[in-house]
Amino acid sequence: MWRDALALLFALGDPRTPLGAKLMAALALAYALLPMDILPDLTPILGVADDILIVPTLLALAARTLPAPVLTQAQTRSLALQRRLPWLIPGVALGALTLLSLLGWAVWRAVGG
């Protein structure tokens, strides 16, 4: 799923991508990120199940509306990035840890530490 979502992200930047695919992908992203759900997340099992079903379904529908050359090119770019990803993860983790440390230090200084 990660590969397909990343490929769809690359395809969205292509001018040959239909508007319908862009709208479905945007809707999936909004549904995943916004706090409003059809079923609240606090509802046992069903609250998370709607996210697990709706978001991938919208992404799959968006991918199906892509022209074949756009999808192929996007999948190639996605695969190339995934090959480099193991080298990127430690760098991103180190950057996030540094940022959190600086933020913690700034808060500590602000409260009089």
What pLDDT, in 10s, does the model give residues 33-86?
776 766 665 666 666 777 778 888 888 888 888 899 998 998 898 888 877 766
Domain total of the chain:
1
91 inside domain: no
pLDDT digits (tens, 9 = 90+) for 10-33: 888 889 999 998 898 888 878 877
Does some domain include residue 46? Answer: yes
How many other CB atoms sit within 10 Å of the CB of residue 67?
14
Contact 38, 54 (CB under 8 A): yes
Range of the domain at 36: 2-86
The answer as to whether 67 is a domain residue is yes
Position 92 in a domain: no
> Model's pTM, two decimal places?
0.58
pLDDT bin (cut points 50, 70, 90) of residue 111 is confident
The answer to whether residue 38 is domain-embedded is yes
Assigned domain for 97 exists? no
In a domain, 44, yes or no: yes
- Smallest CA-to-CA distance from 66 within 27, 108, 2, 9 is with 9
